[in-house]
Structure 1
Amino acid sequence: MRPGERRPVTAPVYRRRRIAVGALVLLLVAAATFAVIGLVGGTDPGGSTTPAPVARTPQLPPVVDPTPVLAADAGAEPVPDPALLAGMLAPELSDPRLGGRVNGQVLDVATGDVLFEQSADRAVIPASTAKLATALAVESAVPAGLRLSTIVRTGAVPGQIVLVGGGDPTLSSAAEGNTYPGSATVADLAAQVAAGGLPVSAILVDSTRFSGPTTGPGWGQGDAPSRYAAPIMATMVDGGRFGPVDDGVRSGEPDLEAGRALAAALGVPTAPVSA
């Protein structure tokens, strides 16, 4: 449900000595957090106390140790000639397919010496590399094992159910494991609703878990919806896409699309969906 007027809220590489590593060497160790889903009885806001969600623990792939970035003898080879390195990288970085603003820097990882740089002191919008900082922030701030739960409650009127989003954009309309390993699925959620024996004639979507703007600072008008982003809301399916393999423009109302996906999975695709 919406609070107020705002809807609440995913050059060539060279290996040389000490490995003069091109552009950026990034090590990211991230533990995945997946959602659980559950069906809860009771009424929407103001109703009686409800029992805990019926949680289904996803089966996650085993954790494996990453391959070392540097070889054991990485310090035994000579440092690449900076002039030679520039001659190799500059043409690649000037490829028009990369756009008009390309920044880069190559460091000797053993000494920190700069071997090559191009506009390294010019600030640019980081784009998808910001996901690294986001993942690090989540790993630092979120307790290990935290679950984001998507819940269905009975509504305030007969035949109505309330889809309560918990902030899980990996909830998928595809078969389990088709998109994100171990992610929750709309089909599983619908099966739990059906098992409760509740006839469904309308779906209300509650995304009040998130509040505030649905886009980030600096986002342009064309950024959401777009092919790479949707407004960020607490209730989403397939990351705001219109389907698990749809790579077109994403939905401008991902909360309602999530409700429609649940309606379709319940066999009532024409049931009205509101937020």
Structure 2
Amino acid sequence: MVVGAGGVGLALALVAIAAAGPWADGQRVAERNLAAAREAAHHTGRTPATAPSAPPVLAGLGPGATPRAVPLPTGQGLDNALSPLFDDPALGAVRTGIVLDAATGQQLYGHDPDTPSAPASTTKIATAVAASQSLGGDYRIATTVVPGAAPGSIVLVGGGDPTLTIRPTPQGADPDATPASLSDLADATARTLKERGWTKVRLSYDTSLYTGPPRLAGVDDENLASVTPLMVDEGRIDPNSVEAAPRAADPANAAAQAFAGLLRERGITVDGDVRPGNAPAGEEARLAEVDSMPLSALVERMLTNSDNDIAEALARQTAISLGQPVSFAGAAQAVSEELGRLGLPLAGTRFNDGSGLDRDDRLTARLLARLLHTAADPAHPQLRPVLSGLPIAGFTGTLSDRFSGATSDAAGLVHAKTGTLTGVNTLAGTVVDADGRLLVFAFMASGTGNAGTAVAALDRLAATVSNCGCR
């Protein structure tokens, strides 16, 4: 049954990539091309014998589905395959796991799945579900400029979009796949000011949308900028950096200073110092506005790249939607509240942030798996970006360099969110087994001593589910 499974996974990866749509950086196109190249390399002049199982897997989640068309693995089969792997000391002191059928939600395997454990970045799955459910995939985050209270003054108002970039939007770019641009906002602001006969202004900036401390205790600022509703390029000092990189000490001030410079380049004199301030109360007409990519695209980007800044921003947008304080604590409460409304199992869980960087967060493998099963449910189409944003083993995001060597047969078959903190390693996502059945899994390990061996052990668990029919 294992022969040809890699080909099935690559074919499924192609379908999933094509369905997810393009990103501004062309990542989906690049993935599709890479998948096609690898598929060609694996071909031996014939279609793999298991290829016909791919359509039932995908159809099994759609209208009129027949989820039993592809056989389920048995609990005994999965227990025989997975339980010995859970004995691996590389998984540390606390190791939990669960496997569900994606179509029905039936539990097929469990290893202490209700034991709360540190989730690390798999917390982002919960944040993605809560934000998508409460706000909807078409929701966009606005950054605005409004007249100030004093004559000749304007206020740059942060709305919470961490992907706002200083770069101008490329001509012909898809607004559904392109970050909002501070340069475009300066263009529109300067144009409106000149129409009103203003060539000199005083500029302030408003960050009053968020409350509470802007930092998580003990978290390096290269992993997460100060959480503020106004920033450009996620607060990175070098806007071209994409990984963990030095951040501005005050991202909001840095963004406002950059905006002042852009206005000057467009013929508007910015008089005096740029200072924090508050936009006037009421419905003052906006001078200009730019909107973020839709929330569905933000969710995908957050999950694929494990983006901490987007995660904290989406948790706060959820807090705004639910009327909670727009702080770490309020956002955590909002995420938990929204998941409770979905009927998800929250016993033993504790949210302290939206990104999973807080070491005191606690989730269960059952909750992670149920989050993914709910995202696959046709009754919740607004949650589908939670699945399409998962990194693809051997291809994208935080799984691009995993599932090689002994686990390479699972490349393309495993789509999963990773989680890594010192002593904590997790993996949760979907996998196609050797019979073509789509399953949901969550594996969690705490107290691990070596990240490399712990990650390899988690990958073996997911690859084992992929490579067996387990009956």
Which residue in 1 is equivalent to 2:252? 255
CA 1:211–1:78: 2 relative to 1, 3 Å: closer
2:231 is aligned, of 230, 236, 257, to 236
CA RMSD in angstroms comes to 4.3
TM-score (norm 2): 0.35
In 1, the alpha carbon distance for the partners of 2:89 and 2:260 equals 47
Whose helix fraction is larger, Structure 1's or Structure 2's? Answer: 2
CA 1:254–1:200: 2 relative to 1, 3 Å: farther
2:119 is aligned, of 106, 126, 139, to 126
Alpha-carbon distance, 1:258 to partner: 1.5
Which residue in 2 is equivalent to 1:149? 142
1:187 is aligned, of 183, 192, 205, to 183
What SS class does the counterpart of residue 214 from structure 2 fall into? coil
Which residue in 2 is equivalent to 1:3? none
What SS class does the counterpart of residue 103 from structure 1 fall into? strand
Alpha-carbon distance, 1:188 to partner: 0.7
TM-score (norm 1): 0.54
Q: Where does the alignment leave 5 or more consecutive residues of structure 1 unmatched?
A: 1-14, 16-66
Which residue in 2 is equivalent to 1:36? none
Which residue in 2 is equivalent to 1:162? 155
Q: How does 1:178-217 map to 2 (within 5 A)?
A: 181-195=177-191, 196-197=193-194, 198-199=198-199, 203-215=203-215
CA 1:260–1:124: 2 relative to 1, 3 Å: farther
Q: Is the 8 A contact 2:231 2:254 kept in 1?
A: yes
Q: Equivalent pairs: percent with the same residue? A: 33
Q: Is the 8 A contact 1:174 1:185 kept in 2?
A: yes
- Number of aligned pairs? 204
Which residue identity does 1:274 align to in structure 2?
R
In 2, the alpha carbon distance for the partners of 1:206 and 1:115 equals 51
In 1, the alpha carbon distance for the partners of 2:118 and 2:228 equals 23
Q: Is the 8 A contact 2:67 2:104 kept in 1?
A: no
Which residue in 1 is equivalent to 2:335? none
Q: Is the 8 A contact 1:107 1:113 kept in 2?
A: yes
Alpha-carbon distance, 1:231 to partner: 2.5
Which residue identity does 1:231 align to in structure 2?
S
Q: Is the 8 A contact 1:173 1:186 kept in 2?
A: yes
Which residue identity does 1:208 align to in structure 2?
S
Alpha-carbon distance, 1:208 to partner: 1.0
In 1, the alpha carbon distance for the partners of 2:242 and 2:111 equals 36
Q: How does 1:30-179 map to 2 (within 5 A)?
A: 68=59, 70=61, 74-82=67-75, 84-86=77-79, 88-89=81-82, 91=85, 103-108=96-101, 114-142=107-135, 148-153=141-146, 161-176=154-169
Alpha-carbon distance, 1:106 to partner: 0.9
Alpha-carbon distance, 1:189 to partner: 0.8
